[in-house]
Structures are given as C-alpha cells and as structure tokens.
Amino acid sequence: MSLIMNDIKKGIQYAFQTSNNMTLAMSGSGHTAMECAVFNIVEPGESVLVAINGIWGERVAEIAERMGAKVHTLFKTPGGHFTNAEIEQALAKHKPVLFFLTHGESSAGLVHPMDGVGDICHKYNCLLLVDSVASLGAAPILMDQQNIDILYTGSQKALNAPPGTAPVSFSERACHKMFNRKTKPVSYLLDMTHLSNYWGNDGKPERIYHHTGPVSGFFALRESLAIIAEMGLENSWSHHTEIAEYLWKGLEDLGLKLFIKDKDLRLPSVTTIAIPEGYDWKELLAYIMKHHRIEFTGGLGPSVGMVLRIGLMGYNCNKANAAMVLAALEDALKQCRKSKA
C-alpha cells in the first residue's frame, strides 16, 4: 500500500506540475482537502481573504469563519472574475495570511486567470490557496510556475476516478507556516503533522497508523493518474477544449446564449447556458431526463435560477455525448416553450 501511495504522490506531482514533497491525497472528497488547507494554514484570529464569485468561495469563507479566522471577502456575482489589481488592493488592505481563489468555478462555468496572482500574494507575504476540483485535467494550471502555495482537486471530475479521494499539495512556504503553528489544528483527522507521516513525506523511516484510508479509492486514483500521465496533460487540456468548443457552437446554433461571454474564461469541463427567455428551467431539465435519460442540472448556490449546467469531463467528454446533449436540448426547446408570443 505504501508503494501505491508513493505512485499516487508522483501522479499528483505530474498532474499539478509541481515538485513539492508535501503532496498527498486526502481520505475524502474535495471538501476534505479544502478544510485540510484552511485548518492547517490558518490559526484563530488570523486574517483570511476569500474571493467569492460562486459557491466554492462561499464555502471556504464559512469554513474559515467556523475555525475562528477573521474573514474578508472579495465579491463578484456568478460569472465575474477578479483582476490582479483588485486582488492586490484587497491584499494590501487586509494583510491576510491566506488568499483563496477558485480556478474552476463550476457553479458559474468560469475558469479564472491565474497568471501573476501567486506573485502578488508573495509580495504581501500571503499564501495562495486554489481550488481546481472542476478544472484539473480540463484546463491548464501549473502549480510551481504560477507560484500557487496550496492546490487541491477532487478525484471524480476530469481525473475520472470514483469520488472519495482528494489530491492536495503544499509548497515549502506553506509547510513553513503549517509546521510552525502556535496552536494545534482544530481537526485531528486532517492534521498535516500526522498526514505527512502517513504519506511518507516527513523523512521518518516508519509510517505510523493514523486512520484507515479508502484503499479501493486509492487504487482507482492511482490508475486515473496513470491514465492522464499516459495521455499527457496537454492532450487532456486540448481534448476538453475541443469538445467544449463543439458543444458551445452547437448551443449557439440553437439560439442559446452562453453564460460566460468571454470564450477564454469558459470552463471547458462545465458549460453554463443562460436560461432562455420564456422557459421554466426545471421543466426543461425534467423533460430531458424523462425523454432522453440525460441529467443536466441548474445552478448551484448563488447561480440557481441563472443557468443550466452541462458537465463533459474525463471519460464522459466526447463528441457523441455532446451531440446527444444538443439533440436533447433541441427537442426540449420545441416541447417546453412557455410563452408562445
């Protein structure tokens, strides 16, 4: 099992494009890695800055608040993104120890620009925490090159493994903050002092029992990381982009409006459609499920009532599926029209 875990670590290092020693997979979903990062980096009373432009920023702000941090927020409505100047202004004002940004905001279908953000954070002696659950493997992210201090993802999106494991990596800067705390992290299960040993990252010869990890989940994660390594990250990124662009053109040909207007800011793995005028979005989804056996979803958190969302990622990301989606939508638009005016 230790050898399997070592392989997983190498696979995550490749997928994240990092040489960080403190690289591992959490025993749990993406939220586990999210909480692990906040709990280990931040101490009660410290300042945290959270960029909120969808549901994931909202979650991190609540997690940080629950463990006693002073939480400051940068806010945009779903679909909005933050300029580096806006981020720098907030960092200078609030002087946080940690800044959180979502790379793949799946509730809005937005992929956030990352270049320069890490440099700005380091200028203000702040660590950068990034959520790439919906984007890793589908859109480019380069942990070391972009100076990201803590990066995490989930196993079940473009990595295509079953849910229940969450890759995460910490830079040396993050480790220095994490292992020089005055107080213990609020969670024993997520305490990186123990987890670093569990994953063989602390330089000690013996791994001491900490918890029972999801063994079957680790086997599957190892295989999914092997598949993406064999395919090549660049090929995975271009494949997701190609299928997304095919879908986007088809949606526009149906007269639908894509929620994210700037093509460069669209998340390839999760496409968001502005709810078409004159339609009940719940009726559209129910019709497609009943007559085509395809599950679309509405918005999530703050984007509820604003968008329809289509996920094409990993094994599911191919032209045949995109074509099925377009045919189902075309049928639903003909059958479900609310106003005939």
Helix (H) or strand (E) holding 152: strand 150-152
Contacts of 68-74 with C-beta under 8 Å, sequence gap 24+, read: 68/44, 69/38, 69/42, 69/43, 69/44, 69/45, 70/45, 70/46, 72/47, 72/48, 72/96, 73/49, 74/49, 74/50
309 is in an annotated binding site: yes
User: How many residues are recorded in the chain?
Assistant: 341
Listed residue (33, 299, 6) closest to 155, CA to CA: 33
Q: Which two tokens stand for residue 192?
A: 């990186």
What amino acid occupies position 105?
E
Q: Which two tokens stand for residue 277?
A: 């005028």
- C-alpha distances (whole Å) from 118 to each of 140, 144, 232, 329 are 15, 10, 25, 40
Residues belonging to the binding site are: 309
Q: Which residues does the annotation place in the binding site for substrate?
A: 309
